[in-house]
Chain A
């Protein structure tokens, strides 16, 4: 695959996009919570791979490399500034698409699940970006503390603290809402 990518074969890039786009999109959207921006970021990640594939040494996996580019692009200061302006109008409305698990659930439980998710995502959006990034990398990609620490250039202890902080904030917010 990498050889074909290094030869610049378009078909290889198409396979690469199909294989990894939803994973990268999940990370990008998890951090930015902005659909258009996430699309742009994921596109840029693939374009970066296209441009620099000859420099790819292969000592880390392709996904590790792309994940790192995705996070770096999400945390790019220019994008962060733009995002701050847009955040006043952020909409976390999710459509009514059902995941395969929920297709068999009753309409009531599906509605409740959707509401819960909507609420929790609204609270995730309110988490500080540093904490949200760590939380998303752990929940979506199930990365180890060490891997997250290495990627973000922080200590594993900081990763642990941020994850705890995220959970505590989300649990507190949900509890306040319920009461």
Chain B
């Protein structure tokens, strides 16, 4: 048994999850709303119609409020790396250093220059340059997200590096491989486009509120048209990027895909579960049915996972115990290799301490044979490699269902607004009013799928979360968790209050 206090790991994990989920309330709105502001301002620039300027300034104010409250919430994650995840933080420092530094410098220059022009520059710079600055803020915010997602993508699929056992660090060997990691690329396209959907949903919600209140009707209708075009295109694109992301997961993290689909026994021509109630007491290898009820689309999972009907999609049992027929090595075998790797790493360390270079070299050569399985050596049982299927399955399906609703919602609103009937279709407005909340649920569910689905790994296959944690007292983590919860709940209340007040004032009060 690995002697790590599970309550310490879980509290550290809970705090990080809570911080990340809080941070992710603001980020998607920033990513998408910046582009919507750019669209509104471009229309103003092209038409010269002052109403578009009013619209631009109104959404820009809400963008500013969201940005101000959200800014620096991600810094807490960085604090947590140093305090709660020091082993992990040290080991990945060389990989994450460059992307995060680029992100920081980029964000600073963007915010100090174009962001200032966007808010202070009305009537001080030319209309063209102001509009250009708004576009630069939009592009810059989204490029800024690239680097964080590159770091996240690397954790899911560690490439372009080598482990240095002397320094206990993963060292970057190819910056290009890290940046163009297929998981990072699909993560960026999927995440940024889902941010566009979220922001469009937000604009739709606020505009529907005005329509229901019969206030600022022209502004609301104009806002809806642009947001729904953007939202419709983005939500269709999210479908494509989601497909690409799932394909990459199937290739690089098959256990996550099996959990997303509740697939225990792998099969050729596997069907995709369209809906189902997953059996939450089922364990790998037992004889229970994985579902109480399910509706499957035949063959579709094989097609999505491997781009081929009839191809084999491994289930949880195949991955845990292996499947010789399909040439899949089981976690049980990988655990054995991982233990050899760790034993040789420990022998290397001892030989180095004793100054015995010959023994160190021999231990290193043996370690290199099995180092790719290093993380599996920390697992106590093969079943530990299985993420919580109930959570992953449900969050994935919630995201997918909500994701498929958005094109319909945006399409319907666009249709009736262009036809000039939106104010008459009052039954539709409450649906529009709830869209932002649906978007928020979809966003959070997506990240739950991605992050809970890769458990128990902090770095896929190389480092489980329980080894990444700092050896602190659980009480210390509980105290910081409570502090964080209080401070950030207050900030969230402040944001909602200011945002609602500004919406209530309307476009006159920017």
**Chains A and B are bound partners:** no
